[in-house]
Amino acid sequence: MRRFSFLLIIVLIASSCKNDSTVDKKDAEKKDAGAHIVNGLKQNIVQYPDSLPLKVQLIDMLDSLKNYDEAINHLDCLILKDEFNNNLWLRKGQILREKGDTIKAIDAFNHSVSIYPSPDVLLELANLYAEKRDPRALTICENLKKMGLGQTNDSYASFFQGVYYARSHQRDKAQQYFNMAINDNYTFPDAYLEKGYLFFENKQYKEALKIFTKLSMISNANANAYYWIAKSNEALNNKEEALLNYQKAYGLDKSIVEAKASMERLSK
């Protein structure tokens, strides 16, 4: 096993701080550019007030900038004019979900379902119900499978059934459905992560490490895979391997601040 010298670790941390500064600058530039695009779209809408594509672009841009309330206000204006458009209710639910307003998101998704029960909105509902340990998630997923829409649809349905059982602390059933999801979609990253979490929570760190390592081999740019490989290695007291994988995780995704904190802690 290659050992990291103290000097190398200092260099890596210094480089990380420099990279953070660069990322912050890029984020600020992205927000400025986004605000400029939003202003341009608003001006175009003044010129072409009946243009639905322009209004949808504006809503999507506001969503990407996390201006959720403004995006929802624009959606509500569209819904007032076309209240039986299931896609508008679906989009509203998605933005409310991103905002973290689960109750209103479920309400919006149910409005969409009442107009037309598309697989997309049913999966959105299954996701939220599963996280809330609401058994309606299971019914929705079984109905989705009966539609015969193919393996991708079935894999998501099985996955959300697994999430329901995982959140309900029924590990064996959860693992069964996560395995079904992977059987239908071998490269389903969230299914591997959820499988690994269950082993990790049960302090089966070697088993968890196998699952997260397999995911890293399937998807070598998955930052969460490396983060949980590191967590598992640290739990097994493999500190050098843990440090290396925390660095990989943070290098791939600077939003994983826990990886940075763990790097600094293990580097002392």
160 and 122 fall within a common domain: yes
| Residues 19 and 254: beta-carbon distance below 8 Å | yes
Task: Please state the domain count of the chain.
Answer: 3
Token pair listed for 229: 């490989």
- Would you write out the chain's pLDDT as a tens digit for each of its 268 residues? 233 333 333 334 444 445 555 555 666 656 667 777 888 888 888 888 888 889 999 999 999 999 999 999 999 999 999 999 999 999 999 999 999 999 999 999 999 999 999 999 999 999 999 999 999 999 999 999 999 999 999 999 999 999 999 999 999 999 999 999 999 999 999 999 999 999 999 999 999 999 999 999 999 999 999 999 999 999 999 999 999 999 999 999 999 999 999 999 998 7
The residue among 89, 115, 141 that closes a domain is 115
CA distance 71 to 138: 31
CA distance 20 to 148: 47
Domain annotation covers residue 217: yes
| Residue 49 CB neighbours (<10 A) | 9
- Return the CATH number at 226: 1.25.40.10
The residue among 156, 186, 216 that closes a domain is 186
36 and 111 fall within a common domain: yes
User: Residue 48, by phi and psi: left (phi above 0), alpha (psi -120 to 50) or beta?
Assistant: beta
Helix axes 189-201, 171-184, angle to 10 degrees: 160
Domain annotation covers residue 140: yes
Buried b (16+ CB within 10 A) or exposed e, 128-153: bbbeeebeebbebbeebbeeeeeeeb
The residue among 115, 143, 159 that closes a domain is 115
pLDDT of residue 143: 96
| Residues 93 and 109: beta-carbon distance below 8 Å | yes
Domain annotation covers residue 7: no
- Return the CATH number at 176: 1.25.40
Domain annotation covers residue 191: no
65 and 108 fall within a common domain: yes
Token pair listed for 144: 């989705």
Domain annotation covers residue 164: yes
73 and 134 fall within a common domain: no
101 and 130 fall within a common domain: no
159 and 171 fall within a common domain: yes
CA distance 124 to 90: 9
pLDDT of residue 7: 37
80 and 64 fall within a common domain: yes
| Residue 232 CB neighbours (<10 A) | 26
Domain annotation covers residue 13: no
110 and 128 fall within a common domain: no
Q: Please name the helix (run of DSSP H) or strand (run of DSSP E) that holds residue 63, with its range, or none.
A: helix 52-64
Burial of 29 (0-12, 13-18, 19+ CB in 10 A): exposed
Domain annotation covers residue 130: yes
pLDDT of residue 261: 95
Burial of 250 (0-12, 13-18, 19+ CB in 10 A): buried
pLDDT of residue 29: 59
